[in-house]
Amino acid sequence: MHTNQEPNRRLGWAVDIDDMLCPTALRVIEEVFEIFPVENITPKELRDRYDQPGNVPAWQEEGPKKLMSELLNDRQFMAMLPVNPEALDVIQRIGDQGLIHAFITSRLHDLKAVTEEWLVKHDLPQARLITRHFGERNPNWKLRHFDTETDKVIGLLDNSPDAFLDTEKLDFKKIWLNETEWWAALSPPPEIIKCRTWGEVELVLLEIQMRLP
């Protein structure tokens, strides 16, 4: 079981779950859109334009925000999220090499069991599962988990800009899977490896692995 797995002793990757392995933001946007539709735009276009449902300008009132919160804390909603087939293929191949150190998610600890069941259901590699505890609202919460594990973690795969701003001080690889260029205005730009597809991610992982001692 993922929740009982001891931390790997071998070097491996930390992999974010939401919007990497499953389309969490898109599914939340679709649900909110059903009740609070936005004119002249589709849910997919909202996702592409605003990234997260909380960024949609038309959904800044109490009603949409309450629905978003309810969905993101709903065990059944989380259990029914589909897996990204491209992500699954890549992570399974990397996992076959024993190179997945942990899965990490900003979901609260109360959702750990259903998330662990979801990982098992979709045949993802056994690895440590890290969830966010209630009250961990500071963006650097991931940093605190990995700060003492840089000898075990090759790098982090994530789609969240905050994840990489959090980990700038950590001496490991950062692979960012997203189509936007949020760092364009930052000086100096963060040291990340930018990918647009899971195929690109796999090539980068293989190249890094070949260079490891």
- Domain harbouring 186, CATH code: 3.40.50.1000
Of 64, 79, 94, the one marking the end of a domain is 79
- Enter the pTM of the model: 0.86
Q: How far is the first Cα of the chain from the last one, in angstroms, to the nearest whole number?
A: 30
Domain final position from 79, 113, 145: 79
Q: How many domains does the chain have?
A: 2
Residue 4 predicted with pLDDT over 50 = no
Q: Identify the residue whose tokens are 């679709």.
A: 30
Relative orientation angle of helices 43-50 and 24-35, to the nearest 10 degrees: 130
Do 141 and 70 reside in the same domain of the chain? no
What is the rounded average pLDDT of the residues 27-56?
A: 95
73-96 pLDDT, tens digit each? 999 999 999 999 999 999 999 999
* 99 and 117 housed in the same domain: yes
Contact 201, 90 (CB under 8 A): yes
More confident residue, 210 or 52: 52
Q: What is the mean pLDDT of residues 94-119?
A: 93
Is residue 55 domain-shared with residue 15, that is, in the same domain? no
Check residues 169 and 118 and name the one with the higher pLDDT: 118
Q: Of residues 173 and 110, which shows the higher confidence score? A: 110
- Per-range mean pLDDT, top range of 7-16, 77-86, 104-113: 77-86
> Do 34 and 86 belong to one domain?
no
Indicate the average pLDDT of the chain.
Answer: 85
Residues 184 and 109 in one domain: yes
Structural domain span for residue 9: 2-22+82-211
pLDDT in tens, 166-183: 666 667 788 888 766 655
Q: Which of 79, 105, 121 is the last residue of a domain?
A: 79
pLDDT of residue 6: 46
Query: CA angle, corner 32, sides to 83 and 160, nearest 5?
Result: 50
CB of 2 within 8 A of CB of 120? yes
pLDDT at 7 over 80: no
**Which tokens hold the place of 191?**
């040291």
